[in-house]
Amino acid sequence: MSVTPLEALPLELLRQRASTKWRKYGDDVLPFFVAETDYPLAPAITRALQRAVELGDTGYTPPAPGIRETFVGFAQRRFGWTVDPSHVFWTGDVMMGVVEILRRIIEPGDRVIVMPPVYPPFYDTVEEAGAVVERVSLQRTDAGWQIDLDGVEAALEAGARAILLCNPHNPTGTVHSRESLAALADLADRFGVPVVSDEIHGPLAHAPVVFTPFLTASDAARRVGYAVTSASKTFNLAGLKCAVMIGGSDRQANVLRRLPAEVEWRTGIFGGLAHVAACSPESDAWVDSLLAALAHNRALLSQLLAAHLPLATYVEPDAGYLAWVDVSAYGWGDNPAREILRRTKVAFHHGPLFGDEGKGFVRINFGCSPDMLAEAIERVGALARS
């Protein structure tokens, strides 16, 4: 059955938004840098928030907001993942959950493995938890990127005490295979270290790729693992604070259960209401329409780059709406986003912020209208020809 793709809102309406994407730069800049999308909210979310405003329902999030139950249902429907409800807890956002977990599973000064190029807050979060970043770069192949299991093993042998995983990976869009996740879990289990998996882009895997939640990869993954995720990337809810933390076993669930009460209190009531609406079956058709729109733009970006920036290297992401594009061949420096912004008024994300592996790269958010995406790449193509 065909699915009608979502249509992005008109540019003149988007420019009335107050969010970072539309306020960081002036109206003469086309923004593609931050992970906000340009689509209308899922109708169930709009209704829930409108009703809350009508009621003046802006107080504290209640102790049983429905976050646990709706996440369990969503995971079962979308991923075939049967989650023990007693293993599910919530907080304000994914990075907040990550840092609170890290604080309780490592000692100050411990080294935590991250896999660059990776979402810039990973570095800050490890440091906030009192730990030290241990970089084990993803391996770049002709087909994309993969976990360097030998590098992880060497880091664990040298004393690293935890692994912070990004699955699906940001910025590359890589959906790690079940086999690589199971192998990672085996290493963590052998060395007795925990794995914390950020899975915020999980609902956005592009068929035929199948997203494997880390905690489903193997028995070892459940013994060592935590997952932290949110509806915020899929449903564009970053300003409404709500994320879920899942323990792989009773032992990890007990760690989450003993987190300070304030960790749960940081969940915003609008975030909780939006999460419940997003994870309800009523919103499944909206997700399917979003995926159809993103699939179109993912392929369109390939065509646009081939036509206007033929020296760029781009592997279509397995998941999400973020493209990791190597434009180093054009000689725009280690951080080409700066030159592109200055000379074309197109704002891409800065590759080096993701690690040294990002030099010469830009990250492009294609969760927008096809016309806006085309105009941006045409502008940058004109720069390349100048």
pLDDT of residue 1 exceeding 80: no
At residue 355, the pLDDT reads 98
At residue 2, the pLDDT reads 83
Q: What is the H or E stretch that residue 324 is in?
A: strand 322-326
Q: Which amino acid is at 290?
A: L
Q: What value does the mean pLDDT of the chain take?
A: 97
Whole-angstrom distance, CA of residue 109 vs CA of residue 100: 16
- Determine contact, residues 147/138, Cβ cutoff 8 Å: yes
**Average pLDDT rounded to a whole number, residues 358-384:** 98
> Phi, psi (5° rounding) for residue 253?
-60, -35
Listed in sequence order, the DSSP H helices in the chain are: 11-14, 20-23, 43-55, 67-79, 94-105, 121-128, 149-157, 178-191, 219-224, 232-235, 250-257, 261-265, 269-278, 284-308, 336-344, 370-385
At residue 142, the pLDDT reads 81
Domains and CATH numbers, the chain: 11-40+284-385 (3.90.1150.10), 47-282 (3.40.640.10)
Q: Which amino acid is at 16?
A: Q
Question: Would you call 378 exposed, middle or buried from its count of C-beta atoms within 10 A (0-12, 13-18, 19+)?
Answer: middle
At residue 344, the pLDDT reads 98
Whole-angstrom distance, CA of residue 98 vs CA of residue 225: 12
**Average pLDDT rounded to a whole number, residues 132-144:** 93
CA 236 to chain centre: 11
173-190 pLDDT, tens digit per residue, is 999 999 999 999 999 999
At residue 144, the pLDDT reads 87
61-111 pLDDT, tens digit per residue, is 999 999 999 999 999 999 999 999 999 999 999 999 999 999 999 999 999
At residue 253, the pLDDT reads 98
Please state whether the peptide bond connecting residue 260 to the residue before it is cis, i.e. omega within 30 degrees of 0: no
- Alpha-carbon distances, residue 54 vs 50, 57, 72, 107, 318 (angstroms): 6, 8, 29, 47, 40
% of the chain exceeding 90 in pLDDT: 98
At residue 55, the pLDDT reads 98
With bands split at pLDDT 50, 70 and 90, how would you rate the model's confidence at 50?
very high
**Average pLDDT rounded to a whole number, residues 280-301:** 98
At residue 79, the pLDDT reads 98
Q: How many residues are listed for the chain in this entry?
A: 386
pLDDT of residue 54 exceeding 80: yes
Q: Which amino acid is at 320?
A: G
214-271 pLDDT, tens digit per residue, is 999 999 999 999 999 999 999 999 999 999 999 999 999 999 999 999 999 999 999 9
% of the chain exceeding 70 in pLDDT: 100
Q: Which amino acid is at 304?
A: L
At residue 293, the pLDDT reads 98
